[in-house]
Amino acid sequence: MSRLTTILAASAVAILAATTAAHAFHPFDQPSGYQAPKRYSARGVEPTALKPKQMPKPSSFFGASAAQNSAAWGADEDEEPAASSAKSKSQKFPPLLEGGPRPAIAPSTPPVVKFSGYGTGTVVIDTAGKSLYYVLSSSTAYKYPISVGRVGFTWTGTQKISRVASWPDWRPPQEMKERVPGLPDVMTGGVRNPLGAKALYLGNSLYRIHGTNDTKTIGQAASSGCFRMMNSHVVHLAGLAGVGTTVKVLNKLPSNIASAASSGGKG
């Protein structure tokens, strides 16, 4: 093989790799410019700045069919495209947008760390530490890295998981479609869908713990209130935390608990 042929072949591989990476993520991963339609009180249960028409009614979830449930919950608000972006303004998607393939995702077990002060089976989210803990015992927990809300989009409180969905559909609510014309009515679950391989819905709020196909945001303050995990981690968590599991969202862990959890594995 000549030197020129070798160079051309290498270039083709590089171009293919770049193209594959570009299409590996959903088209709704530009949250900048988004104005959140809601805020939560310190208890995390009462909206403090939300128009009634924007809140899903509890009955719309608990008394509806599976298809209606998905519509009632709306989109993951932290995945709205930027309204200020020229591309977002001009791009129009078909009403039904395919999310791509749904590969089998093997669960990945996170490290076990020292952890105390919370009941076994509780999910504890440390916003400042960008970590999610699943409590295993009175002294240990699994520790997962996550993405949290960016400045001005965080919240605290206690919720219970009300639904767990695999490769959930993404349905932009009307308010979002008015802000960003051209969004699809539905994006089916798949590798390009912003909700990833699993979504754990928090009470009757619009917030979720969900997977992401854009792993570069893990460990960052990047969302508008939801908590993103690597797909392999959210699959692992979903195998432990089901409907009814208590989720506590904190600004930060007490210093003694945080210090123990950061000191390494269980001792």
Residue 14 lies in a domain: no
Asked if the structure places residue 19 within a domain, the reply is no
Range with lowest mean pLDDT among 26-35, 108-117, 191-200: 26-35
Task: Evaluate whether residue 13 is within a structural domain.
Answer: no
Region of residue 203 (left: phi > 0; alpha: psi -120 to 50; beta: else): left
In angstroms, rounded to a whole number, what is the distance separating the alpha carbons of residues 156 and 120?
A: 20
Q: Among candidates 24, 169, 190, 187, which has minimal Cα distance to 102?
A: 190
pLDDT in tens, 2-23: 555 554 454 444 443 333 333 3
pLDDT at 42: 36
Q: Considering the domain boundaries, does residue 10 fall inside one? A: no
The answer for residues whose C-beta is within 8 angstroms of residue 213's C-beta and 6 or more apart is 24, 25, 26, 191, 192, 193, 194, 196, 231
Residue 207 in tokens:
């917030």
Average pLDDT over residues 181-198: 92
- Which domain range does residue 242 map to? 28-262
pLDDT of residue 249: 97
DSSP-derived secondary structure for 22-45: HTSS-S----TT---S--B-TTSS
155 or 52, which is more confident: 155
Average pLDDT in the chain: 74
- The answer to the question of residue 38 being in a domain is yes
Residue 244 covered by a domain: yes
67 inside domain: yes
Alpha helices by DSSP H, listed for 195-254, are: 231-238
What are the E-state strand segments in the chain? Answer: 96-97, 112-114, 123-126, 131-135, 140-145, 148-149, 157-166, 186-187, 198-202, 208-212, 221-223, 227-230, 246-250
Q: What is the pLDDT of residues 26-81, one digit of tens each?
A: 444 333 222 333 333 334 433 333 333 333 332 222 222 222 333 333 344 445 55
Give the CATH number, domain containing residue 37: 2.40.440.10
Cβ-based burial of 132 (10 A; exposed 0-12, middle 13-18, buried ≥19) = buried
| pLDDT tens-digit series, residues 124-146 | 999 999 999 999 999 999 999 99
Full-model pTM: 0.69
Per-residue burial over 135-165, b if 16 or more Cβ lie within 10 Å, else e, is bbeeebbbbbbbbbbbeebbbbbebebbbbb
* Count: domains in the chain: 1
By C-alpha distance, which of 29, 188, 190 is closest to 97? 188
* Domain annotation covers residue 2: no
**For residue 201, what are its two tokens?**
């819905």
